[in-house]
Amino acid sequence: MKESDFQFKNPILKRLNYALNDDFDIEKFDKIELIFHTNVVGRKSAKEAIVTLLGKIGKVNESSPFYIEIEITSPFKWTDDIPEEALNKLLRKNGSALLLSYMRPIVAFVTGQSGIAPYNIPYIDFTKEEEKEV
């Protein structure tokens, strides 16, 4: 098995804001709102970029049991063997999915420590996110 030409290292939790909603009304609950935004800052010539995933989970109102704003970032590097046309997809989609896998247990732990059931972020389809240039 060969190691991938696309690598990351040391994801960092940059921000975590959490609020349990004391005014939560189960009768007004529909679902947990999920908003994710990916930011890629990089230098193609240096074959490296920083990918940041920002998640906003829940709302600050009585229809949501909690609100979390969480940001995780990681440097990514690649080799000359990665085609230019594949690079944006790897950074925006694969990078986001990888960072979400680090975000998921943090959110479950924090919500579980709040006296409510741990919230497990579902799988997210990052292929639908709007494309932006690196």
What is the structure's pLDDT at 130?
Answer: 54
Q: What is the CATH number of domain 6-128?
A: 3.10.420.10
pLDDT in tens, 55-104: 999 999 999 999 999 999 999 999 988 888 888 899 999 999 999 999 99
Query: 35 near 56, Cβ under 8 Å?
Result: yes
What is the structure's pLDDT at 100?
Answer: 98
| pTM for this prediction | 0.89
pLDDT in tens, 37-50: 999 998 767 899 99
Residues whose CB falls within 8 Å of the CB of residue 20, separated by 6 or more in sequence, listed in order: 65, 66, 114, 115, 116
Q: How far separated are the first and last CA of the chain, in Å rounded? A: 29
Identify the sign of the CA torsion 82, 5, 104, 72.
negative
For residue 34, list its beta bridge partners. 57
